[in-house]
Amino acid sequence: MTSPYETRFWMKNWDPNVKDIDPKEFETTYPAYIRNIFDKYPDNMALSYQGLEITFADVDKRSNQFANMLIQNGFKKGDAVGINLPNIPEYVYSLIGTLKAGCIVSGVSPLMSDIQMHYQLDDLSKGGKKVALVTLDAIFEHRLKKIASTLPHLEVVIATSVIGSFPKEQQEKIKAVQEIPSGIVTTLEGKSVYNFQDDILAKFSDELPKVEISPEDIGWIQYTGGTTGPPKGAMLSHRNCMSNMISIRKWLQWEEADGMLLSGFPMFHAAGLTVCESALALGWGQILIANPRDALHICNQMKAYNPTVLVNVPSLYQILINFKKFKRLDHNQLRMCISAAAPFPKESQEKLEEIVGQGKLLELYGMTELSPVATMNPSLGKKKLGKVGLPIQNIMLKIVDPDSNEEVPLGQPGEICVAGPLVMKGYYNKPEETAKAVDKDGYMHTGDVGLMDEEGYVQIVDRTKDMIIVGGFKVFSAKVEDTLVKHPAIGMVALIGTPNPERPGSEIVNAYIQLDPEFEFDGNKDALKEDILAFANKELAPYEIPKKIEFSEELPLTVIGKIDKKALR
């Protein structure tokens, strides 16, 4: 009998103009794809950063200067550049310049410790790659100097400041009214050290370099931590990323030069990277948000620019939902709110749509190794709150039992597996890990537990590593969290399992709760726990009910704003 997943029955629920794309369209590179935009819209605003507006011509020239700096330093196709910055203009110049030089981009979180930075830069250099790093002056002084001497393949370091893009006199005015992190940049033995503004943008040619790049070439090595083990570098080719970018553009039916984007996703993360690259490739303006937790700044930027699309992690939407100024904004220009990277409780989704307008929230699912988007709610058709949509164009998706690898029936939970042009080339220098993740048929085993309904919509219920086993029953933490957050006291909740000392092999369900700021709490934690447990008894199966409840002023978040269950454990 033919598997329902093989028939791709969900295609009948795609929007009318959406169909599979001729794979020949993916046979391009990112620099070739965006060349047309730079030529057509040189004077249009590409970036806005704290009121500083930067045109497409500026991005084109400054990225050329960055590319020419790499080439003059002997960097060739396949060498790597780590970009260790928040969302500031220099990130974009470095990103595009690296790809124009035929080199490989690797996002390096500015929140990493020196030990974590060392691991990634050292790993990138394996196989004899030259490595460059773009970083902040503060990170240079306080972290990079400690490790630079033990990174022989790190040949070039470029330093900037979070306000480096502004003219010098304006920088002084900014420093007079706000505290700006800074550091002293010195020479490093055996390495070329540059200042972004005084050296790269002042001394290198802004002519487009001539470098032959093919769709098969690796353009990105993005590190993904997962839930266990050291981070792994997912190798993404130009074809991988172009297939995803073109698919998303056609899925959402976005038009060239007809949008303004605001995203709180950091660009060192695959979601933020793709959002930035997609906006540039569409000729859209984008508002750079260096600190995604500064809700006031985001609201001020929204008021100034009226973005048509917001892209955020659920926890940032939850911060905005509870922010009075966000509620008071005029959201008529806002066409779409895209949510990704973590489960978004349905209750919170409904609250967001009450503020921005019904039908505007569009949830999707993806991962770094999938370049990164695999499923998405339709742009025009039926959106299902609490579900991450339908598989997108040109891909196969199936849900399997993680133990037997057999497909599970529709409606049953299992591991999501995805095949198609979006699947990474593999993990850098980790063939064994690649073989574990991508099977012989080309399916990426995502480690995410989901189920598909009879219309093809996917719901994420857990990470396989976050699943809690209670007396032989599987507790899907995302499903339980989605239920508990309906209690009026709960703003955010995270479930983890801890070993049950009385029953070896079984776990105890622990709930960590951050109260809703609008809940009028009288301070009686015991009474509130009893009330939450009474609610849980009505709504959940007995094995799903938390045995321990802890209240926390703030739940720990990862660098992109997901609840950090590793830290809770």
- Strands lying side by side in the sheet with 548-551: 490-499, 507-515, 548-551
- Structure confidence at residue 464 (pLDDT): 73
- Structure confidence at residue 482 (pLDDT): 86
Locate 306 and state its tokens.
């009226």
Q: What percent of the chain has pLDDT over 90?
A: 80
What's the helix, strand, coil split of the chain in %, to 5? Answer: 35, 25, 40
Cα–Cα distance for residue pair 413/108, rounded to 1 Å: 34
503 pLDDT band (50/70/90 cuts)? confident
Architecture (CATH level 2) of domain 467-568: 2-Layer Sandwich (3.30)
Q: How far apart are the first and last CA of the chain?
A: 44
228 pLDDT band (50/70/90 cuts)? low
CATH numeric code, 54-213:
3.40.50.12780
Every domain of the chain and the residues it spans: 4-24+238-426+435-463, 54-213, 467-568
Locate 256 and state its tokens.
């060239």
pLDDT > 70? residue 227: no
* Superfamily of segment(s) 4-24+238-426+435-463: ANL, N-terminal domain (3.40.50.12780)
425 pLDDT band (50/70/90 cuts)? very high
Helices 89-100 and 56-72: angle between axes, nearest 10 degrees: 60
Closest by CA position to 563, among listed 452, 457, 464, 463: 463
Locate 165 and state its tokens.
């893009």
Query: Which range is least confidently modeled, 120-124, 200-204, 417-421, 469-473?
Result: 469-473
Quick check: 492 and 476 in contact, CB under 8 A?
A: no
| DSSP secondary structure code for residue 87 in this structure | S
Three-state SS sequence of 290-327: CCCCCHHHHHHHHHHHCCCEEEECHHHHHHHHCCHHHH
- Residues in contact with 526: Cβ distance below 8 Å, sequence separation at least 6, in sequence order: none
- Structure confidence at residue 226 (pLDDT): 53
DSSP lists the bridge partners of residue 495 as 511
Cα–Cα distance for residue pair 434/405, rounded to 1 Å: 17
pLDDT > 80? residue 386: yes
pTM: 0.88
Locate 301 and state its tokens.
């930027």
- Matching fold, domains 4-24+238-426+435-463 and 467-568: no
Quick check: 417 and 404 in contact, CB under 8 A?
A: no
- The average pLDDT across 125-146 equals 96
- Residues in contact with 168: Cβ distance below 8 Å, sequence separation at least 6, in sequence order: none
- Structure confidence at residue 560 (pLDDT): 73
Locate 452 and state its tokens.
């598909």
Cα–Cα distance for residue pair 513/519, rounded to 1 Å: 13
- Structure confidence at residue 564 (pLDDT): 84
As to burial, measured by CB atoms within 10 angstroms (0-12 exposed, 13-18 middle, 19+ buried), residue 205 is: middle
